[in-house]
A and B are shown apart, each in its own frame.
Chain A
Amino acid sequence: KQEVTQIPAALSVPEGENLVLNCSFTDSAIYNLQWFRQDPGKGLTSLLLIQSSQREQTSGRLNASLDKSSGRSTLYIAASQPGDSATYLCAVDGGYQKVTFGTGTKLQVIP
């Protein structure tokens, strides 16, 4: 059974800092990994999708890496802004279209 862990559970940083969110998973036989953000009272917004054959994906100030062998993914946010405050979730697709989510990291960027 796939288990997905996200560390830290909560993070508070001053505006402008670079930060890294971590996601680890127990079963490396994955199809892809997706990072989402969830704003309070809203749905899930897809940020980045990394296929199992890829090592990283970039979108603007976001960079996600994937190391299947070690069961880890990181989401790097450069020059954080107050608008980045949200809960960030990683989701692992085990290839049978049943996605396992992590518990999330709640990020607060302080102006």
Chain B
Amino acid sequence: EAGVTQFPSHSVIEKGQTVTLRCDPISGHDNLYWYRRVMGKEIKFLLHFVKESKQDESGMPNNRFLAERTGGTYSTLKVQPAELEDSGVYFCASSQGRADYGYTFGSGTRLTVV
């Protein structure tokens, strides 16, 4: 089966611009998560979708970040306007049910804001 797919793999944008990251979870996985790793720090949770609904978005840093999952399939994470501190690696993961089989992560999107 195809894994979790994220694109782009790398994005370099200027401060103030907008970037949209996309995640395609494993087919049939209702649960989709976004995480990010800022340089030198641990990976932190951003939000969790169950199908198209936001189950938990307590990790979203501020209102410059907007996540959507239309139709309960792929998800997008938009950063608008991007700031320097948004630079890092953004990971997406999906799980089946209550993650009895753990999480499958995508390869991440490396975002660099200059």
Scan A83-110; emit 1 where CB is below 8 A from any B CB, else 0. Answer: 0000001010100111111111000000
| Docked complex Cα distance between A51 and B45 (Å) | 20
Nearest B residue to A41, CB-CB: B110
Q: Secondary structure of the A side of the interface?
A: strand
- Check if B99 is an interface residue, CB within 8 A of chain A: yes
Nearest A residue to B104, CB-CB: A46
Decide: A97 near B48, CB < 8 A? Known: A34-B102, A43-B108, A44-B91: yes
- Check if A61 is an interface residue, CB within 8 A of chain B: no
Scan B87-109; emit 1 where CB is below 8 A from any A CB, else 0. Answer: 00001010100111111111110
| Docked complex Cα distance between A102 and B43 (Å) | 7
Task: Choose one: B55, B98, B101, B103; the contact of A99 (CB below 8 Å).
Answer: B103
- Check if A76 is an interface residue, CB within 8 A of chain B: no
A46-B103, A101-B42, A102-B42 are known contacts; what are 20 more A-B pairs with Cβ within 8 Å? A32-B100, A34-B102, A41-B110, A42-B108, A43-B105, A43-B106, A43-B108, A44-B105, A46-B102, A46-B105, A96-B56, A97-B48, A97-B56, A97-B95, A97-B99, A99-B33, A99-B35, A100-B45, A101-B43, A103-B41
Q: Can you list the 10 inter-chain pairs with the closest CB atoms, starting with the nearest?
A: A43-B107, A49-B102, A44-B105, A101-B43, A103-B42, A43-B108, A34-B102, A101-B42, A98-B45, A43-B105
A–B pairs, 27, beta carbons within 8 Å: A31-B98, A31-B99, A32-B99, A32-B102, A43-B6, A43-B106, A43-B108, A44-B108, A46-B102, A46-B103, A46-B104, A46-B105, A49-B101, A51-B100, A89-B43, A91-B43, A93-B99, A93-B103, A97-B33, A97-B48, A97-B95, A98-B45, A98-B59, A100-B45, A101-B35, A101-B42, A101-B43
Chain A interface (Cβ within 8 Å of chain B)?
A: 4, 31-32, 34, 36, 41-46, 49, 51, 89, 91, 93, 96-104
Chain B interface (Cβ within 8 Å of chain A)?
A: 6, 31, 33, 35, 41-45, 48, 55-56, 58-59, 91, 93, 95, 98-108, 110
